[in-house]
Amino acid sequence: MNTLRTAMLLAAMTALFMGVGYLIGGSGGMVIALLFAAGMNLFSYWNADKMVLSMNGAFEVDERSDPRYYRIVQGLAQRAGLPMPKVYKIDTPQPNAFATGRNPENAAVAASTGLLQQLSDEEIAAVMAHELAHVQHRDTLTMTIVATLAGAISMLGNFAFFFGGSRDNNNPFGFVGVLVAMLVAPFAAMIVQMAVSRTREYEADRRGAEICGQPLWLASALDKIARGAERIPNPDAERNPAMAHLFIINPLSGERMDNLFSTHPSTENRIAALQQMARGMGGAPQAAQRPAPAPTAADEPPAGPWGKPAEPTPPAEPGRPKPNPWGRNPTGPRGAGPKGPWS
């Protein structure tokens, strides 16, 4: 079903691109637009992930350069049954993250330095679980190609005034067609972006909460990221607004209008859905089943979810919640785990 929806969406984007070409250059412009769209689809399939990472100034990290971040992603990928994606960082103080790649075998996740500094380990895990959910659902290819085509349509509309409108190019609509291309086509591309992002963000929230095991970790992270994105600009995202829907929270400072014009669902609605999910799991954050640890030597403790030695779990005391799957209680002082919205 996801493959069918992706094919239908790409066909719609290609048709929109051809329509813009027809408005600018008539039948000849439509043929050129078709060839250009086909070439962009092929280019996007193989290279859009690299382009998105480059446009956001992302750089790759490994277990040696950032063991904390890398092991969080590694543990989550194992829990989700996914191949280990490439791990990137974005050098910006705005807390945010995104995933890209044409399939799970060629996926990449990226988190900003601001997110890694401002969020707790549990909240980082929830955010990266959300991004891995996009990888697992194969949203990354669709969202990346849509971003590429939407940007191209907007650019084509902007250039329409300079290269279209003359009867010499067999344009049956003349200057009116150019105006339509300039105004309507970029707006239509934006609507498609909104539909892609909104319909898939809720599902990624749900699956991400299942992967990390704690819906309220993601709820807490979304609240922090949204507040950070409101006050901290992201210059790379501002220069490339067609990429905004790739992020977990809209990174654009000028996109705080109502739901009709937002590339993302309302953060409050997403948090409410996660809180409802947590209540459905038993009122307090429920523990997801941990994967069975790999065989180890008798004198070595089994590895924890981030690749660290797991500490023995003490028996639960009367009146206290049981430890969660990361070896911490959801409430209590800092040493026992950060307080979240469930405290």
Residue 291 or 16, more confident: 16
Which pLDDT score is estimated for 197?
65
The average pLDDT across 134-145 equals 82
The alpha carbon dihedral of 209, 215, 218, 219 has a sign of positive
pLDDT higher than 50, residue 268: yes
CA 260 to chain centre: 20
> What are the structural domain ranges in the chain?
2-54+141-278
Q: What percent of the chain has pLDDT over 70?
A: 63
| Feature table: binding site for Zn(2+) | 130, 134, 201
Show binding-site residues. Answer: 130, 134, 201
**Higher pLDDT, residue 74 or 260:** 74
Say which residues have a Cβ less than 8 Å from residue 220's Cβ, sequence separation at least 6.
123, 126, 340, 341
Question: Residues 53-68: what's their mean pLDDT?
Answer: 94
More confident residue, 147 or 53: 53
Our answer to whether residue 311 is catalytic in this structure is no
Q: Which two tokens stand for residue 88?
A: 């990137």
Query: Which of left, alpha, beta for 12 (phi over 0: left; psi -120 to 50: alpha)?
Result: alpha
Whole-angstrom distance, CA of residue 273 vs CA of residue 41: 34
Confidence of residue 60 (pLDDT cuts 50, 70, 90): very high
* Catalytic residue selected from 63, 131, 230, 255: 131
Going from the C-alpha of 126 to that of each of 3, 5, 115, 120, the distances in angstroms are 26, 27, 12, 10
Close Cβ partners of 158 (under 8 Å, ≥ 6 residues apart): 182, 186
Give the number of other Cβ atoms within 10 Å of residue 315's Cβ. Answer: 6
Least confident of 43-47, 200-204, 309-313: 309-313
Coil, helix or strand for 111?
strand
pLDDT tens track for 89-112: 999 999 999 999 888 999 999 999
- What DSSP assignment string belongs to 217-254? HHHHHHHHHHHHHHHS--HHHHH-GGGGGGBSS---TT
Give the Cα separation of 323 and 337 in Å (integer): 10
* CA geometry: angle 65, 71, 75, nearest 5 deg: 160
Predicted confidence (pLDDT) per residue in 196-253, tens digit = 666 788 999 999 999 999 999 999 999 999 999 999 999 988 888 778 878 999 898 7
